[in-house]
Chain A
Amino acid sequence: MKNLLVQISLVACVIFFAMSCDDLFEVNDLTKGEEESFFKDRETAEMSVSGAYVLARRAVMTGSSWALYSDVRSGLLKINGPELEDFYNQRLNSNQAMFKNLQDWERFYKAITQCNVVMEQVPKIEEFIKEEEKSRFVAEVKFIRAFLYFNMVRIWGDVPLVTNTSEIDPLPRQDQTEVLGFAIKDLTEALEVLPAVYTTPTGLEDKFTTRSRASKGACLALMAHIHAWAGNYTLSLEAVNSLVALDLYELTPVELLQNAFEGITNENIFGLLPADDFNDDFEFSTEDNLFDQDIAFNGKVLPRVEGLSYADVNALYSGSDGRKAKYFEVNDVEETVRFRKITGNSMINSGFFRYADILLLGAEATVTADPATAIAFLNQVRTRAGLAEYDVTVDGALEDAILTERRRELYAEGHDFFDLVRFGRVSEKVANISPADVRDGIILWPVSSESFLNNSMIVQNPFWN
């Protein structure tokens, strides 16, 4: 009987040992990185911010969409391939894979969600991170989120405003002024916190990081753009002036302009680093980079995108314009040009914001209120290019001169179509768009059919309805 009691107690031991062990249920699944235990130090916070940059890059750069939305649509770049016809005819609701990708805003929301995750999780980290680093990381993703919303508003107009990750119910499209207002608020907060320049651990200025991550300059440039898009040129000018006052940026001599496209001059304010094929996953590999690839089309090998023709180049750039030779390989004997401004392996594929862009934005902001200032801004860019100063008799109306300058200075940098929208010149400059089309809303892209799934509140843009 004694032995029996021993046995019973042993069995009971097993039971109680197991019962008391709550760890029995805390089984780690090594196939999943659990969010609740992930955010715990500076390193993980930095990785999540890095994720936000990667996803933002996918949003604006997958398949070189930044170029397709702007310069290809406005006709400054020509796409070789089956999409040519639909682009030329402004059939943006085409079913071709490239258009379906362009219509869909999901990739933007993936990036926005990651920004929201960082904003919610990083401040909760208590150890192994400095307070100022936490606030800097949050400010960085605020900039990224504002940058994404600004791009979305330019593409689709009203868009759903997702500001946190807890709400997953369907959202309606929010009035774009509200979305832009939200972006400005984010930027104003980020501006307080972000550094003007990043420094290396040894305290030296880290120019590479400064130009590829959110900084004060990047914030101001984005604010200037957002205000200009909203038509508030007073505030836009304010942002331009603040940026100039930072005294960090300068125009690169025209001989070295190629460096600005690679993102390594004092002219660059902000751009996104290209993806590294080997580390990025396959789903969004950069093989779609239109500037990287030669394709066989109709039996001939052609680049996927082409620039302007020989005649158009000469019409846009005068003989003394130093930019012509930097942007194109011009063969005056055979009368051919080859576009070379942007290549697939540019360090920063597209200078999203560079100083020349901001100076011209300053000119645009003051063109009616203060033409003298506008001319001063404009002449900085003209002089650098090797052009004579603005002369109304040669260059026409100031506003026209500014637009022309933007078109040739910022050629193939993802600005052109949106510049035309701001200047109200779309129907004038873009083939197959009539003033009536503009009135009906052709400027905005159609919303993809996927966006309507499980979201009955989404309405299509009127032109594409």
Chain B
Amino acid sequence: MTKILRSKTKLRFRLLACLILLQCALAANTWSIGRHVTKIDRELKDVAILENDSIPESENHGINHKIVKGRDLQDIPAADLENLLQGRLSGFFVQNWTGSPGVQSIMSVTSVNTLPLNIDNKPLILINDIPIYLDPSMASRINPLSQVSPENIESIELLNRATSLALYGARGSNGVIRITTRDGSGFDRTRISLNVSGGVNFEPQLRQTISGNQERIRLRRLYDKALVLPGDVNGITLPPALTDSLNSFYGFKSDWQEQDYEPKLTQNYNLNIGNSGVYGHYFLHLGYYNEESSRVDVGLKRYNLNLNTRYNVTNRLFLDVYLHAGLIKRGNAVSNLFSHSFFPQNDNSTLFPPTIFIDDDEVRDENTNNHIIYSTRIKYNLTDHIKLKSLVGLDYETGRRDFFLPSTINNGEIFTSSFTSRRLRIINENTINYFRNINNRPLNFTLGQSIIASDLQFTEVSATRDGEGTSNFVKTIGDNFSLQDIDAGSFLSKNNLFSFFADIDYEVINGLTLRGVVRLDGTSKLPKDERWGVYPALGMDWKFGGIDLLSGLTWLSSATLSADFGWSGTLPVEDHLWKSDIRTVGDYGGITGVTRYARRNDSFTNPKSTNANVGLNIGLLQNKVFASAEYFINDVEDYYYQALLPNTVGFSPEFKNGIGMKTTGLNFSLSSQFKIGGLLWHAQLNTSIISNEVTALPSDVSPQYGSLTVGKPINGLYAFAADGHYANDAEVPVNPKTGKKLSFSGVEFTEGMPKILDKNGDYILDQNDRFFVGSPQPDFYGGFANHFEFKGFYLDALFSFFYGGNILTESVENRLTSNMNELNRGMFQSLGVESNYYLMNTDDNHVSIQGIAKVEEATHMRLNNLTVGYRLNEATLSKLGFSQGRIYVTGQNLFVGGSSYSGLDPEENWNAINRFDLSTTGIPRYKSVSLGVSIGL
């Protein structure tokens, strides 16, 4: 078997090597042509004319709200690029749930927060046309978008029209974001600029703590009522030494959280060098970024180098090389790994200190990523009308995590782990473009082919053992270490995507442009018969601002109506979900046994989505105000799920297609440009009103997708309703047929347990008895960006807002949990707090009945960014030898308002449940203020 595998791997490598060689040959060939062409026209202007390097795929004609320019981002210190786009990029949803830099936020384009299906809901992100791996590295959990230095960005463009989605075919359904990095094309001479900033990250607002006598009184009450062993309050293990926060362990501080948070620094250095000339142009960016979070041990360091060059070989032949090399180190707070493990109170105060409190030196948790993005692109203008383009690129990332927990904090056991991951994606894309004016109207036709080969692997080894001897802190692993304590795993997965595509647009009559797109995608991720998918789309843009009918409307400067219809797909992130699997199960008489783990599903297919959109862009008052409204439908059918099989089947449930989901939305934006006296004001307001719902749900959907109901939003919040508690056993309803009491998962209700409503009256509480209590999706969200300029001073302010959307906040004092074996022995007792809603869960040994303190609204508004700057007088600067310079002060996350949420930040829960132990809550986001200087030669 290994032999066959090896030969296939070899074949693949040969294939890729062959492709790269071919391209090299092509490059060498073009290079030699360049050298031998006798009449090389080295006039820059000709080059510029012939090159026509605008982005032909851009769907955004004229001014558009779906583009963010890099110059708006470059002074903002940020670890994760997506967070800069919150509120700034119309139609792009970002929920920044944690103050830990390098941790990915929730993001989506076509729908909002569709957990638990979220994994395949992220948009496709391209950096200079290379589709990057977007999921965090398995080893380091570092967000790939934190590799991108904001200083190096030319533009970020959101593509969500049906024609654009179809152009990305099997991967397009979740929307596409194209990031273009800066180049030196506009530079008239060598320009060097340095942008340096430094700032403070302030201690965030923290949960209120109780100490001293109050703390002891509350502890006592919990111990008494919960009938648990000391040190184990409702299942939360607390070392006895830590149950009173006023002890020496915390340095006698009245608020133990002060140990965990303190003001820290952020540093940001950027050096850019660029030039352009007859030869082409280049742009070099060097960056160093260091953000130390105000949470001890949490932080991110980024080192990166970007080189973007163009060589004009002849006036028809161009060679582009792009290289990004980066290194990221992420610090992690270990206490965060094991949830916060402290005990917040209903009144938003915190009773107990964290169980794990550690010194930096004792724990090692090093997370590192190395990242290379590389591409060469050859463009050849065959004639004035025909252009050839060939791209070879790669996205390569290695991640590493070294982890060590000393025995002092890990229940007397040492834990050590080493985890490495590697991801490699190679893309080869060749296109031929035909452009011509027919009857003075442009016709643009592109035909292309691409191969994308992806390869992902990781290896992990971890081990646990008891701390040795009397020392409670042993860093080494002894000789008598046994194999049993070691856990090791390795993973390797590959997939290939092979595509053809065609894109044609033509202005059929004056003002009316039609666009047709079709993509043919074949992927190894799907079984043979389902491998190829066709994704066509049709679109139109009608510039009707000039027609006679509207000539009387002087205030209307331009108007474009656009409409698209087409199809796209949502390829599963995981490779080969459809394949069969045989696994070893043990050993019989010395012979290893194997068993069928999963069956092959030959009809597994790519979920297909039908996309439609209608949009209107208008320019008013001599194009000083632009308004745009866009309505879209993204109707996904055959989304995949794991089927629930009868337990007589004897192997794992297989992945099938069949869930339907529909998202409809209205993206609206308004931007204006005014000049009043010396004051310049640019403003942009965008908002998205999005709703989604489940449209089809097969009957055999596994309970893991319990939060799906037809007609309700994806990932709705569901809970059991209750009315008081049973005063005695006799109150518990009894099924007259069977004589059995009301039960959950086999556990009969008894005195003291909540009176949970049996919705369907079958005396058995299960997920069918839950009520829809809310949706984490906002009714609308958006942002408001402002830019003012006055005599060299400028001010930027970005607000984001989020209206509606629910959060379930769990009650701390109304939480009942028990060991299965101890049931009906008085373990379930209320602490005297009533809840209207409950979550109930069970596993093999425990049942928990968790009261919901309240269903809250996540509505809020945030001042994401406020920058005040001053451009230095150019005349003064030039005397000093500089061409430009500015100083600025920028503040992030300075203000959150309009929120009634009881926790710290309405965005902090990634699954919209504010857990009693904060296990799904990010560490608090903090305010930061930086002072920066930028000078240019």
User: Which residue of B5, B587, B600, B646 contacts A30 across the interface (Cβ within 8 Å)?
Assistant: B5
Instruction: Say yes or no: is A229 at the interface (Cβ < 8 Å to chain B).
Output: no
Q: A24-B496, A32-B581, A106-B650 are in contact. Are A165 and B599 (CB under 8 A)?
A: yes
B residues near A170, Cβ cutoff 8 Å: 646, 648
Q: Mark B669-699, 1 if CB is under 8 A from A, else 0.
A: 0000000000000000000000000000001
A4 to B498, CA, bound (A): 25
A287 to B25, CA, bound (A): 63
How near does chain B come to A409, taking the closest CB pair, in angstroms? 27
Q: Mark B569-601, 1 if CB is under 8 A from A, else 0.
A: 000000110011111111111011111101110
A residues near B747, Cβ cutoff 8 Å: 95
**CB neighbors of B among A85-135 (8 A):** 93, 95-97, 100, 104-106, 109-114, 117
How near does chain B come to A103, taking the closest CB pair, in angstroms? 10
Is A27 within 8 A of B575, CB to CB?
A: yes
User: Which residue of A95, A212, A213 contacts B823 across the interface (Cβ within 8 Å)?
Assistant: A95
Q: A3-B33, A168-B645 are in contact. Are A25 and B591 (CB under 8 A)?
A: no
Q: Mark B538-569, 1 if CB is under 8 A from A, else 0.
A: 00000000000000000000000000000000
Is A453 within 8 A of B579, CB to CB?
A: no
A31 to B4, CA, bound (A): 15
Is A35 within 8 A of B600, CB to CB?
A: yes
Is B579 within 8 A of A34, CB to CB?
A: yes
Is A109 within 8 A of B593, CB to CB?
A: no
**CB neighbors of A among B173-202 (8 A):** none
A residues near B484, Cβ cutoff 8 Å: 278
A residues near B581, Cβ cutoff 8 Å: 32-35
A106 to B746, CA, bound (A): 18
Instruction: Say yes or no: is B738 at the interface (Cβ < 8 Å to chain A).
Output: yes
Is B524 within 8 A of A27, CB to CB?
A: yes
Q: A30-B5, A50-B587 are in contact. Are A24 and B524 (CB under 8 A)?
A: yes
A169 to B738, CA, bound (A): 29
A312 to B162, CA, bound (A): 82
A50 to B587, CA, bound (A): 7
Q: A28-B5, A34-B582 are in contact. Are A113 and B451 (CB under 8 A)?
A: no
**CB neighbors of B among A1-18 (8 A):** 3-4, 6-8, 10-11, 13-15, 17-18
**CB neighbors of A among B724-781 (8 A):** 738, 745-747
Is B29 within 8 A of A6, CB to CB?
A: yes
Tally of A-B Cβ pairs under 8 angstroms: 250
A454 to B656, CA, bound (A): 15
Closest to A114 in B: B595
A281 to B587, CA, bound (A): 10
Instruction: Say yes or no: is A407 at the interface (Cβ < 8 Å to chain B).
Output: no
A residues near B700, Cβ cutoff 8 Å: 454
A21 to B589, CA, bound (A): 44
User: Which residue of B483, B580, B844 contacts A32 across the interface (Cβ within 8 Å)?
Assistant: B580
Instruction: Say yes or no: is A57 at the interface (Cβ < 8 Å to chain B).
Output: yes
Q: A24-B451, A29-B576, A97-B844 are in contact. Are A110 and B651 (CB under 8 A)?
A: yes
Q: A14-B19, A33-B583, A37-B1 are in contact. Are A47 and B648 (CB under 8 A)?
A: no
Q: Mark B82-106, 1 if CB is under 8 A from A, else 0.
A: 0000000000000000000000000
**CB neighbors of B among A426-455 (8 A):** 448-451, 453-455
Q: Mark A260-302, 1 if CB is under 8 A from B, else 0.
A: 0000000000000101101111001000000000000000000
Is B579 within 8 A of A29, CB to CB?
A: yes
Is B1 within 8 A of A51, CB to CB?
A: no
- Choose, from B7-15, B120-128, B226-234, B407-415, the stretch at the interface: B7-15
Is B580 within 8 A of A30, CB to CB?
A: no
Instruction: Say yes or no: is A55 at the interface (Cβ < 8 Å to chain B).
Output: yes
**CB neighbors of A among B575-631 (8 A):** 575-576, 579-589, 591-596, 598-600
A33 to B592, CA, bound (A): 14
User: Which residue of B15, B495, B576, B585 contacts A54 across the interface (Cβ within 8 Å)?
Assistant: B585
Is B594 within 8 A of A171, CB to CB?
A: no
User: Which residue of A14, A31, A109, A273 contacts B428 across the interface (Cβ within 8 Å)?
Assistant: A14
Instruction: Say yes or no: is B480 at the interface (Cβ < 8 Å to chain A).
Output: no
B residues near A110, Cβ cutoff 8 Å: 595, 650-651
B residues near A235, Cβ cutoff 8 Å: none
Is B821 within 8 A of A82, CB to CB?
A: yes
User: Which residue of A7, A21, A30, A117 contacts B15 across the interface (Cβ within 8 Å)?
Assistant: A21
Q: A168-B645, A453-B644, A454-B645 are in contact. Are A114 and B650 (CB under 8 A)?
A: yes
A275 to B844, CA, bound (A): 23
Instruction: Say yes or no: is B45 at the interface (Cβ < 8 Å to chain A).
Output: no
Closest to A272 in B: B588
A158 to B810, CA, bound (A): 45
Instruction: Say yes or no: is A374 at the interface (Cβ < 8 Å to chain B).
Output: no
A37 to B586, CA, bound (A): 21
Is A18 within 8 A of B498, CB to CB?
A: yes
Closest to B701 in A: A454
Instruction: Say yes or no: is A26 at the interface (Cβ < 8 Å to chain B).
Output: yes
How near does chain B come to A264, taking the closest CB pair, in angstroms? 14
Instruction: Say yes or no: is A38 at the interface (Cβ < 8 Å to chain B).
Output: yes
B residues near A51, Cβ cutoff 8 Å: 584-585, 588, 593-595
**CB neighbors of A among B497-556 (8 A):** 498, 522-524, 528, 531
Q: Mark B18-30, 1 if CB is under 8 A from A, else 0.
A: 1100110110011
Instruction: Say yes or no: is A253 at the interface (Cβ < 8 Å to chain B).
Output: no
Instruction: Say yes or no: is A53 at the interface (Cβ < 8 Å to chain B).
Output: yes
**CB neighbors of A among B339-370 (8 A):** none
Is B380 within 8 A of A7, CB to CB?
A: yes
Q: Mark A363-383, 1 if CB is under 8 A from B, else 0.
A: 000000000000000000000
Instruction: Say yes or no: is A176 at the interface (Cβ < 8 Å to chain B).
Output: no
B residues near A10, Cβ cutoff 8 Å: 22, 25-26, 29
User: Which residue of A33, A36, A97, A111 contacts B594 across the interface (Cβ within 8 Å)?
Assistant: A33
A33 to B648, CA, bound (A): 23
Instruction: Say yes or no: is B449 at the interface (Cβ < 8 Å to chain A).
Output: yes
Q: A30-B492, A47-B593 are in contact. Are A276 and B11 (CB under 8 A)?
A: no
Q: A24-B524, A33-B582 are in contact. Are A465 and B738 (CB under 8 A)?
A: yes
**CB neighbors of B among A154-196 (8 A):** 160, 162, 165, 168-171
Q: A29-B576, A96-B820, A449-B746 are in contact. Are A15 and B430 (CB under 8 A)?
A: yes
Is A27 within 8 A of B12, CB to CB?
A: yes
Closest to A458 in B: B646
B residues near A451, Cβ cutoff 8 Å: 646-648
Closest to B9 in A: A28
Instruction: Say yes or no: is A46 at the interface (Cβ < 8 Å to chain B).
Output: yes
Among B23, B428, B649, B747, find the residue whose CB has the most chain A CB atoms closer than 10 A: B649
Closest to B494 in A: A27
Q: Mark B415-443, 1 if CB is under 8 A from A, else 0.
A: 00000000000001010100000000000
User: Which residue of B1, B388, B844 contacts A11 across the interface (Cβ within 8 Å)?
Assistant: B388
Is A24 within 8 A of B498, CB to CB?
A: yes
B residues near A213, Cβ cutoff 8 Å: 589
A residues near B649, Cβ cutoff 8 Å: 109, 113, 162, 168
Q: A29-B579, A35-B580, A96-B820 are in contact. Are A23 and B483 (CB under 8 A)?
A: no
B residues near A465, Cβ cutoff 8 Å: 738
A residues near B11, Cβ cutoff 8 Å: 23
A residues near B236, Cβ cutoff 8 Å: none
Closest to B575 in A: A29
A residues near B934, Cβ cutoff 8 Å: none
**CB neighbors of B among A56-86 (8 A):** 57, 82
Is A52 within 8 A of B593, CB to CB?
A: yes
A450 to B496, CA, bound (A): 39
A-B contact pairs, 20 of them (CB 8 A): A11-B430, A14-B449, A15-B430, A17-B15, A25-B531, A31-B492, A32-B581, A38-B1, A50-B593, A57-B586, A82-B822, A109-B647, A111-B650, A113-B595, A113-B596, A114-B650, A165-B651, A279-B592, A284-B586, A451-B648
Since A110-B651, A454-B646 are in contact, a sample of 5 more A-B pairs with Cβ atoms closer than 8 Å, ordered by chain A residue number, is A30-B491, A35-B581, A35-B582, A55-B585, A279-B586
What 7 A-B pairs come out closest when comparing CB atoms? A113-B650, A51-B593, A33-B582, A50-B593, A280-B586, A54-B593, A35-B580
